[in-house]
Structure 1
């Protein structure tokens, strides 16, 4: 189902998508980033913060250094402003790439304490990796829509167009 090469491709896709998104928001003010644009978390900044929170929490589980990131309720304030998001996003994407590049297989289960469920959970690593990248793509689609509605020029989002693929 999910193989290490797929994880590496999705990590590259994530970094590529976030790179143009960081670039597209260079001129976006904090006020514009806070404007409710109809996403699940309302604003671009809150959605970007939630995605970064989830990426950091899941990555910490994947590498065996689980951290306490609070719950989903606090995820929208994980990143307080656009300057912080723009500086931290590329660093996190580089960490995701290092993790993916070091992967040799997707077998086995991962066990962790889920604050959302309030208990220990075990799931197949391959399913969690699929969830990780699907979650990014889901919310990044919302962020793309918010940038478009703000009148900002956005990048291509199709995976098959990613540079260096194939």
Structure 2
């Protein structure tokens, strides 16, 4: 079981790491960011776009907003738009994490997954862990893609985060 402190720490880590990755990615040209490198989402841009899309879907589910219009696939073809959305979303995730109700975290959360075409009911705390774990998983892929492109994103470990 997790608490609000876990979520706010992970939201801060999320925001810090995303800022680092986008700063590193900005050193590359659009062609390099979008080059198919055989990754699950093909390119660095595709990977970053996927993280934004998945974060939006989970946050919208958690906050009761409709996700009917969401389709997986590239949402933002322009890097500047993708980066701006990432920054907005990180601020929103941080605010949401700071407002988490301990009772909600202990409750079950029901949702429908378009990806798996199935209904689920899972502990809310488990799904919050998944939100942050999913980000970390794909940021690891993005870090690897950056390194392949000759850009070192720097330290990525949670204890390296300023203020941790």
TM-score under structure 1 length normalisation: 0.91
Return the offset for 1:66.
3.0
**Alignment-derived partner of residue 101 in structure 1:** 98
Q: Structure 1 residue runs of 4+, over 4 Å off?
A: none
SS in 2 for 1:36: coil
Runs of at least 5 residues in structure 1 that lack an aligned partner in the other structure: none
Query: 1:122: how far off?
Result: 1.1
**1:141 aligned residue:** 140
Unaligned runs of 5+ in 2: none
- What CA distance in whole angstroms lies between the structure 2 residues aligned with 1:47 and 1:69? 20
Following superposition, the deviation at residue 27 of structure 1 comes to 2.6
What CA deviation, in whole Å up to 9, does each residue of 1:113-133 have, x standing for no partner? 221232322111011011111
Please name the residue that 1:79 is paired with.
76
TM-score by length of 2: 0.92
Q: Tell me if 1:35 matches 2:35.
A: yes
Q: Paired residues, what number?
A: 162
Root-mean-square deviation (Å): 1.4
The SS at the match of 2:77 is coil
